[in-house]
Amino acid sequence: MSTSWRVLAVSTFAFLVCFAVWMLFGVIGIPIRKELGLDATQFGLLTATPILSGAVLRLPVGAWTDRFGGRRVMLVVLLACALPVWIVGQASLFWQFLLLGLFLGAVGSTFAAGTPYVARFFPASKRGLAMGVFGAGTSGAAVNLFVAPWIVNHFGWRMVPKVYALALLVTAAIFWLLSAPSPGRETRQTAVRFSEQLRVLRDPRVWKYCQYYSLTFGGFTALSLWMPQYFIGEYGLTIALAAALAACFSLPAGALRALGGALSDKFGAHAMTWWVLWLAWIALFLLSYPQTQMVVQTIRGPASFHIGVNLWAFVPLLFALGVALAFGMASTFKYLGDDFSDNLGIVTGIVGLAGGLAGFLLPIIWGALLDWLGIRSSAFMLLYGIVWTSLILIYFTEVKRVDFHGRDTPRTTPAIENASD
């Protein structure tokens, strides 16, 4: 196996483990909620707290990756997060879980280190595929949905953080042994100030890609956390069955990201993003419909009708949404690889920050909507509106090809030079 593919394989494995740990509260949060008597808003805050720190740290981690190399940064994060993950098993109060969640959430920032790290081992023609394969590590969310419920059922929820902490230490050792220094690391300018790196924020394309990623990755992360308790509350399932069905969403959204990267290389980021947004729009339209009981006055008296998505229709629709978000995550980073190859670390951090913040805010908003409206499908209603925003944005900036001042502008994709991190 060549060095580039070996690095990609071990980096993807490390990110998969990190993502499983990042989603920890999505499963153990359910028994914690029962122990502490949390309402829906508090549960949303509990599950989302690790997402906040993982999102915020993506910006500095992306900048450090450009300066010090993704290999070193990935290793430091893996080692540093093992301790707070272990301590979660000893916590007993709500504030303790929130505080520890902020510390363990740093594992989510490894995406901002790993993406530019693996991209620099591949030529431009294969960079979308490489970043897609690495991004498939988000299938760690599905791994968590299989592993954590089994541990909870056999040993109790407090054993899960201990197992995950040991997994981080083992992964750190494997990653360091099999990875390699980034090509051209010695010739990279390492003295660039952080303020100078942030000048990329002046480019409106960065903000547009942040919006795309807040929907695709933010929606994926939030739904991975939210779906187990959704299945339990909406359809009365056990935690093991609810987690298994939730994996029907998380697994394709992770595993198919590599295919999305390959298709983005072949057909272009714009075409992929445009069509997957429409697929997500259709799926969310159907998922948004609440369980409804109607009474119609007929000539023979009142007649009752029930309208709603049953379990066996819900799961395929959720699967389709997962596929759409997977391809959308990959195509967004194809945009970045095409347009910002020279400073991919900082741009990855910025866009990853936007996606992570969306993943943090959505469960809290969904919990508040559920406490207020009492309608579980309100989560999908909100996502439906966000998809509409993305479709409008991509139509006016790429399909119709007009800039922000209304002038016609042909869409061009800058040529890419091989990165030399």
- The pLDDT score that the predictor gives to residue 269 is 82
Taking the model in full, what pTM does it have? 0.76
Q: Are 254 and 160 in contact (CB under 8 A)?
A: no
Q: Does domain 3-180+203-399 have CATH number 3.60.21.10?
A: no
- What does each C-alpha distance from 47 to 187, 285, 318, 338, 389 come to in angstroms? 42, 25, 20, 34, 26
Which of 77-86, 110-119, 192-201, 360-369 is predicted least confidently?
Answer: 192-201
As a whole number of angstroms, the distance between CA 231 and CA 351 comes to: 30
Among 418, 416, 415, 414, which residue's Cα sits nearest to residue 203? Answer: 414
pLDDT, tens only, 146-191: 899 999 999 999 999 999 999 999 999 999 999 998 776 544 444 5
pLDDT, tens only, 27-63: 999 999 999 999 988 998 999 899 889 888 888 887 7
Among 343, 328, 349, which residue's Cα sits nearest to residue 416? Answer: 343
- The pLDDT score that the predictor gives to residue 223 is 92
pLDDT, tens only, 223-261: 988 999 899 999 999 888 998 898 888 887 667 777 887
pLDDT tier for residue 104 given thresholds of 50, 70 and 90: very high
199 or 294, greater pLDDT: 294
pLDDT, tens only, 179-207: 998 776 544 444 566 666 677 777 888 88
Q: Are 71 and 181 in contact (CB under 8 A)?
A: yes
User: What are the sequence ranges of the domains in the chain?
Assistant: 3-180+203-399
Cα 39 from chain centroid (whole Å): 25
- % of the chain with per-residue pLDDT over 70: 90
